[in-house]
Amino acid sequence: MLSVFSSPGHYVQGRDATAALGGELARLGIGGPLLIVAGPSAVRLLSEQWDRSLTEAKITYTVHRFGGECSRGEIARITAAVQEQGSAAVLGAGGGKVIDAARAVAADLELPMISCPTTASSDAPCSALSVIYTDAGEFEEYKLVARNPALVLVDISAVVQAPARLLTSGMGDALATWFEARTCVAGHVRNMRGGASTRSAVALAELCYRTLLADGADALTAVETRTVTPALERIVEANTLLSGLGFESSGLAAAHAVHNGLTAAPRTHPFLHGEKVAFGVLTQLVLEGAPAAEISTVLAFCASVGLPVTLAALGLDDADRDTLSAIATRAVAPGETIHNEPFEVTAPLVLDALRAADALGRKTSDL
């Protein structure tokens, strides 16, 4: 098995980074017309800077308002807009679902993709993976495309304007990176690109975890006060770049499969990807029989940044056995990443791990 490391072509991060968008595209040889797929916050925060930067670079563009869900229907609508405009590239601006949809369209049409997250809410911006949902918000499939984004541009001035909950969600997603990476590497499992992990990918995954523990709480305070600090810069990099490279080039395991299982319960749909992944991390550690000290560290971190550690915190306070069984069954569906664990994982095992993780979380919440 060959070792494979994947990454975007370029990564740019900093205050008012959007002002450099036109110049960065020109440097990469990407011209117009450009279709910008954008959520409402991206339009509000960045439209003036898009106009200045892209006009200066003589790049024409059109904005497509994102429909809210990275579903097949929305992907079809964006595809039609690209074809109507004759766009030469697709830019996704906003949260993870916007970027995932833009990536899927660009891949289908074999066009360059540019990723401009306005939140640090997930590790979607750097990867070549789109998560496809139904229109109702239930996980459907992972769509792995041929190329990572040509450019990832992260404007910290926009990120700091986003609700603090989104940064917390990004930390939940990033929290899984190290634990899933080490499981996949130890089991010699193929990564998301079909190859073995590299030492650099594992090192980035571990650095991601250490950065979360060191800077997570301070970065959250920065966003709550809308101040750009070194701690916030480091957490944005961890949530976006370190987690993106770490998961894609090392692999996913139980934590993300539990997230996918949780989407089978409609009451979890209002909760964010990273919030559900964080509970998936706790469930994975229970499933693997991780040391109590390690689980305690994860619980303490989650508490410090407001990540959910109980089923009640995900809207499942009175979930019956049938609901939990449906979650567990979805988590172990054929092809799920939970089967990268080094032992056979069944629905009854996951059901018990969910309940045990919930009990640990409740005990921590009561302290």
Q: Poorest-confidence range of 142-146, 150-154, 199-203, 283-287? A: 142-146
d(CA 177, CA 245): 9
pTM, rounded to two decimals: 0.92
Residue 292, both tokens: 């109590």
**Which residues, in sequence order, are CB contacts of 345 under 8 Å at separation 6+?**
254, 287, 332, 338, 339
Cα–Cα distance for residue pair 337/333, rounded to 1 Å: 9
Contact by Cβ (8 Å): 246, 205: yes
Give the number of C-alpha atoms closer than 13 A to the C-alpha of residue 239, restricted to the C-beta side. 32
pLDDT tens-digit profile of 264-283? 999 999 999 999 999 999 99
- Rounded to an integer, the average pLDDT of 237-246 is 96
Residues with catalytic annotation?
173, 256, 259, 273
Task: Give per-residue pLDDT as tens, 102-143.
Answer: 999 999 999 999 999 999 998 889 999 898 999 888 889 888
The pLDDT assigned to 92 comes to 97
The pLDDT mean for the chain works out to 95
Q: Which amino acid does the sequence have at 260?
A: N
Mean predicted confidence (pLDDT) in 276-291: 98
**62-66-67 Cα angle (round to 5):** 140
Both tokens assigned to 123: 């590790």
Cβ contact 360:282 at 8 Å: yes
Residue 64's DSSP bridge partners are 37
Is the model's pLDDT at 337 over the cut of 80? yes
Give the closest residue to 301 by CA, choosing from 190, 117, 176: 176
Q: DSSP per residue over 81-137, as a string? A: HHHHHT-SEEEEEESHHHHHHHHHHHHHTT--EEEEESS-S-SGGGSSEEEEE-TTS
Q: What is the mean pLDDT of residues 66-89?
A: 95
Residue 281 makes CB contacts below 8 A (sequence gap 6+) with: 172, 175, 176, 179, 255, 298
> How many C-beta neighbours within 10 Å does residue 29 have?
8
pLDDT tens for residues 11-22? 999 999 999 999
pLDDT at 144: 87
% pLDDT > 90, the chain: 91
Stretch 243-247: mean pLDDT: 95
Residue 51 reports pLDDT greater than 90: yes
| pLDDT tier, 367 (very low <50, low <70, confident <90, very high otherwise) | low
Count CB neighbours of 53 within 10 A. Answer: 20
Q: Interior CA angle at 351 toward 136 and 292, to 5°? A: 115
73 alpha-carbon distance from chain centroid: 21
Q: Are 265 and 327 in contact (CB under 8 A)?
A: yes
Strands 61-65 and 34-38: parallel
Is residue 1's pLDDT more than 70? yes
Q: Return all residues near 359 (Cβ < 8 A) that are at least 6 apart.
A: none
Question: Taking phi first (over 0 means left), then psi (-120 to 50 degrees means alpha), and beta for anything else, what does residue 238 get?
Answer: alpha
Say which amino acid occupies 134: T
Distance CA(235)–CA(255), nearest Å, equals 20
Average confidence (pLDDT) over 84-93: 96
Question: Cβ(131)–Cβ(100) under 8 Å?
Answer: yes
